[in-house]
Structure 1
Amino acid sequence: MPALTSYTHALTALQAAKLRTLLEERGFEFQTKPYCLYAAARSKVNVCVYEKGPKIVVQGKETEDFITHLLEPEVLGEAKLGYEEVHNPEMFQPHIGVDESGKGDFFGPLVIAGVYVDGNVARRLRDIGAVDSKRISSDERIFKIAGDIRAVPGLAWEVISIHPARYNELYEKFGNLNRLLAWGHARIIENLLERVPGCPRAISDQFANPAVLQRALQTRGREIELVQRTKAESDPAVAAASILAREAFVGWLKSQSQKFSLELPKGVSPVVKQAAASLAQQHGNDLLPALCKMHFRTSSEVLSRSVSDHSNKPAG
């Protein structure tokens, strides 16, 4: 089994303070990092305690040793590493996990993925490092783990990529993102249930209105237990789905960036707006709906800027 090199866990404020004292006593070198209460490193382990939560992120070759000999016995007060099946047995029972990527990105598709696991598959996913894709910063690592996920014996998976042109049509039809997301989640669950009809349960992130997803399910989907919860990515099936969705999203961005010889950035930052403006200037405004989610405020800002630029051009 590969050694654990990354680990995340929620802390209380008291636990965060106690850990800092323990790290100081053990000679860790402290650093200042954005959004962190503190960060420290020693030998082959790095520790960041983030303000939000707070939560701890441990990385490095000595992650497992740090958790087993310091974090669990002296801070958390319980042994969890290696005891996931005792603490969370439902993670290792047959179920489907669903997640999406691209929801908050101006460029690119909305990708929804689903993964079916049983006990053996869930253990294998844990071994290959299938964690929430938001915790994996490298696109190359996303592609590598996605390939490993698809190679796991007994795992079933589905991916739906709703490319921008189709996305914009569906958004008009459904009227809001929640309904569109629910439709995509329901399609994934229904497709997987055709392949694993005996699956008793499906897990996804909590919808603002849980009934929206329930209503979107068809005959097969209405027969299973639907679990919606916050931080669903802690589940191995949902984590694997998040990686497959991210792989498809990043792959689309890379291919379109090459096609137009211009990087299409993630998110909705000023850099994104500049890239969209450059595309509109070079290829015309009609290109944007094929590459962008047009209900984002960014689209109206880019279009109004384009109109302004044209009106300010001197007459021939």
Structure 2
Amino acid sequence: MTKRKNVSLRVPLEQVDRVKELLESEGLREREVKNTLWSYEGEGVYLNMYPSGTLLIQGKGAEAWADRILERIEAPEGPLAGCDEVGKGDLFGPLVLCCAVVNPENFKKVLSLSPKDSKSMKDDELLKRAEKLKKYVNRRCIVLMPERFNELYREYGNINRLMDDAYRKLVQSIVRDFRPVRVVIDRYSFRNPFQDMGVVDFLEKGERDVVVSVASMLARAKFLEKLRELEDNYGLKLPKGASSEAKRLAQKLKREDPELANTLIKSSFNGG
């Protein structure tokens, strides 16, 4: 029995209706599927559109349908940028902030790689897909390893103010070098520190933006790379996140080797 082909791609949320119109014009039938925006079926093919912007195509001619849908999607008139951070909720390892820039000629290739919020992906899958995305994306990242992060955290006294300045530096860099027509930053605080930067949109649930999802994946890949370096350098297995396991190890290190703890643990976790 032949395995049914699955293809996924990312559809910008503002263009979801264009895709739906295409499917209806081709005579596909709408059907009810839980947790989707909509779902259609045709001759041996099923298409499910999810709120995240991911379109899953299953069955006969899935790749051909993906190509037709990408043809229908409009590329932007200029470069688009998105920014996100990873590591803010992790006891161990760096804080990584990344901005990604996608040029119009690469926009559909990026969509075909189906970028999504890194929190919804397994590490192995993310690393493979992030490597492919790098071919089509310009990027700038700031990596604050724990020791440097802790210095800055003492200076700023607030992680969001620290991130404000880091993001401003990143945005200034990408605007100078790539001239994006829009920069979306995934909102991390109630206060908007970018109101004086006209090109920046500071958006709640910014990961719903395609390029923010790309930035999220690239930031996560860099975080995992740097966490692995710390593990290799110090011969320790460092848990991700802020689980009870992570907290126990952090407490042990702070008791037994405060200097090493400062190299591995972000001090924003006072209870760690």
- TM normalised by structure 1 equals 0.63
Give 1:176's match in structure 2, choosing from 152, 158, 173. 158
Structure with greater proportional helix content: 1
Verify the 8 A CA contact 2:9 2:112 in the aligned structure 1: no
1:295 to 2:268 alignment = yes
Q: Which residue of 2 aligns with 1:211?
A: 192
Aligned residues of 2:78 and 2:180 also touching (Cα < 8 A)? no
Alpha carbons 1:108, 1:163 under 8 Å: kept: yes
CA distance in 1, matches of 2:266, 2:229: 17
* Matched residue, 2:73: 85
Q: How many residues align?
A: 233
**Alpha carbons of structure 1 residues 186 and 84: separation in structure 2 relative to 1, 3 Å:** farther
CA 1:150–1:134 in 2, change beyond 3 Å: closer, same or farther? same
Q: Which position in structure 1 is the counterpart of 2:84?
A: 99
Structure 2 residue corresponding to 1:240, chosen from 214, 223, 228: 214
Taking the aligned partners of 1:57 and 1:187, their CA distance within structure 2 comes to 29
CA RMSD of aligned residues (A): 3.5
For residues 256 and 289 of structure 1, what CA distance do their matches in structure 2 show?
Answer: 12
The within-5 A match list for 1:26-37 is: none
Change (3 A) 1:58 1:179: closer
| Percent of matched pairs sharing the same residue | 26
The residue that corresponds to 1:275 in the other structure is: 249
- The offset of 1:7, in angstroms, is 7.9
Amino acid in structure 2 at the alignment position of 1:133:
S
Partner in structure 2 of residue 304 of structure 1? none
Structure 1: runs of 5 or more not aligned: 11-17, 21-44, 50-54, 70-80, 216-221, 300-316
Distance (whole Å) between structure 1 residues aligned to residue 258 and residue 90 of structure 2? 19
1:92-131 superposed matches below 5 A = 93-131=78-116
Higher RCO structure (Cα 8 Å, ≥6 apart): 2
- Equivalent AA in structure 1 for residue 100 of structure 2: V
Q: Which letter does structure 2 place at the counterpart of 1:143?
A: L
Indicate conservation of the 8 Å contact 2:53/2:208, yes or no: no
Structure 2 residue matching 1:204: 3-state secondary structure: strand
How many Å apart are 1:104 and its aligned residue?
Answer: 0.7
Report the counterpart of residue 260 of structure 1 in structure 2. Answer: 234
CA deviations on 1:252-296 (whole Å, 9 max, x unpaired) are 1112122222211111111002222443465x1222111111131
State the Cα distance separating 1:93 from its structure 2 match: 4.4
Amino acid at match of 1:151: K
Q: Give the C-alpha shift of residue 6 in structure 1.
A: 7.6
- Where do 5+ consecutive residues of structure 2 fail to align? 14-31, 35-45, 63-68
Instruction: Compare CA radii of gyration and give the structure with the larger one.
Output: 1
**SS state of the match for residue 229, structure 2?**
helix
CA deviation after TM superposition for structure 1 residue 236, in Å: 2.2
2:202 aligned counterpart, secondary structure: strand
